[in-house]
Amino acid sequence: MSDLLALDLAGSAFERGRGQGVARDRAEQVRAATVGRVATARAEGLIDADARDYLAAQYAFHEAVDPDGLAEMVGIAAGFELDPQEMFAHLHLGTLRDLKGGGRLEDGCSSWAVGQGPDGPLVVKNRDFFGTHLGIQTVARHEGPDVATGAMLCLGSLGSPGAYSSGINARGFALADTQVAVRTHRVGWLRYFLMGRLLARCATVAQALDLIRAHPHAGGGTLVMADASGATAAVELGAAGPQVTQGPVVWRTNHYVSPALGADTLLPQGDVIAGNSGRRFAHLAATLPGQDWDGAAAQRLMATHDPAPICQHGADDGTMTIASAVYSCAAPGLLVCPQNPCSGDWRHHPLTG
C-alpha cells in the first residue's frame, strides 16, 4: 500500500509552503525527487546558458504575476533546507527538455470532467509518473489570506507547489492537469504555478478562463475543469495562446488535439506514455459521452487496462499510475486512490469537516 500524507496547511503562502517541512522524515526522498533531478539534468548538459537565461526570465515573469506562488515555493525550500532557485529549475525540467528537442514523458496522466450526473459535476484524473513521487504524495488542505475562495484541497507531492496535479476549492471549482511535450515555449505562466492561483482566486470555470486568457503561457500541458454550476472546460496551454473546449464532458491525455496546437505536440520515440496517449484519448472519447457518471463509475473507468491503459503499471518503462482522484464539485471533496486505481484502495477526503 502506498503512503498518502494528509497535511493541513494554514497561513500565508510562504508559511503553507514551509509547513510541508513537518514531513522531515521524507526529506531525502524530497531532495532526490526535486533538486536531485536538477543535478542530474545539469550533469547531462541540459541546464546551459540558454536554459539559465530562460529560467531567469521565467522567474521575473512569476514575480510580477504570481508572487504568492513564488512565496509558496520559497517556503517549501525553507522547510526542507533546499535552494529555491534549484526548486524553480526542477519545476521547469520538462520545459527545458522540450527546448532541447524533447525527452521522455515521465509525467503523463489522463483527465476528464463532466458537468452533471447522479453525484453532480466531477473532475477525474489518473496521475501517471515515473515513481519518484511514491511515498511523498500528499492530500493537502490550504487556507490563508491569498486563498480568496476560502480553502482548497489538493493532490500533490512534498517539495512541489500545492496543486502539483489537481485540486478543488470550497466554492466547488475543481481542476486537473496533464503533461504535453511541445515544440514551442515562451516566457509565461508555468502550469504548476497557474493551477494554484486558479484554485485560490476562481469560483467558476468562467472566472478561470478569464485568468488563463489574461497572460501568456510557457506552453505545454492541459487543464480540465468543472464548477458547481456544471460548467466544464478543457484548456490546451499552448505558447501561441490557450485553446478552450467546452461542453457537457471534456477529456485530455498527453497530446494536443485542437487544430491550432495539434502540430505542436512532441511525441518522443519509444516513449510509453506518448505512445499510448492516442489510445487513451480515443477510449475516453468513445466511453464518456452520453452516460450518467457518478463517483463509483468514475473509479471503474480509471481502473481500465483494456482496450487502453488508463490505469498504467509500469511494465515497459517504469511509468505507472501512482494515484487516482475523483473530485466532487457539488460537495467539495476528494475520493483518492494512492496507487493503481484497480487496487480498490479508495479513501474519502472532504474539504471541510
pLDDT (tens digit per residue) in 226-242: 999 999 999 999 999 99
* 163 and 215 housed in the same domain: yes
Q: What digits encode the pLDDT tens for the residues 316-333?
A: 556 789 999 999 999 999
pLDDT digits (tens, 9 = 90+) for 209-228: 999 999 999 999 999 999 99
Q: Of how many residues is the chain composed?
A: 353
* 307 shares a domain with 180: yes
**Domain boundary residue among 75, 99, 123?**
99
Answer for the pair 196, 173: CB distance below 8 angstroms, yes or no.
no
Rg (CA), the chain: 18
Sheet harboring 347-350: ordered strands across?
A: 249-252, 110-114, 122-129, 320-328, 333-337, 347-350
- The neighbour count for residue 283, using CB atoms within 10 Å, is 21
- pLDDT mean over 103-126: 88
In this structure, is residue 307 part of a structural domain?
yes
How would residue 129 be classed by pLDDT, with cut points 50, 70 and 90? Answer: confident
Which residue, of 99, 119, 136, is where some domain finishes? Answer: 99
Asked if the model's pLDDT at residue 270 lies above 60, the reply is no
Let me know whether 129 and 273 are in one domain: yes
Query: The C-alpha cell of 218 is what?
Result: 510557457
Is residue 87 located within the same domain as residue 129?
A: no
Confirm whether 353 is domain-assigned.
no
| Res 108: pLDDT | 73
Read off the C-alpha cell for 117. Answer: 450526473
Report the SS3 class of residue 229. Answer: coil
Residue % of the chain over a pLDDT of 90 = 88
Pair 64, 131 in one domain: no
Split into its structural domains, the chain has a count of 2
Residues 46 and 140 occupy one common structural domain: no
Q: Are residues 80 and 211 in the same domain?
A: no
Domain carrying residue 276:
110-344
Q: Are residues 124 and 245 both part of a single domain?
A: yes
- What confidence tens digit (pLDDT) does each residue in 56-108 have? 999 999 999 999 999 999 999 999 999 999 999 999 999 999 998 876 656 67
SS3 content of the chain, % helix, strand, coil (to 5): 35, 25, 40
3-state SS string for 161-179: CCCCCEEEECCCCEEEEEC
pTM: 0.96
The average pLDDT across 18-26 equals 96
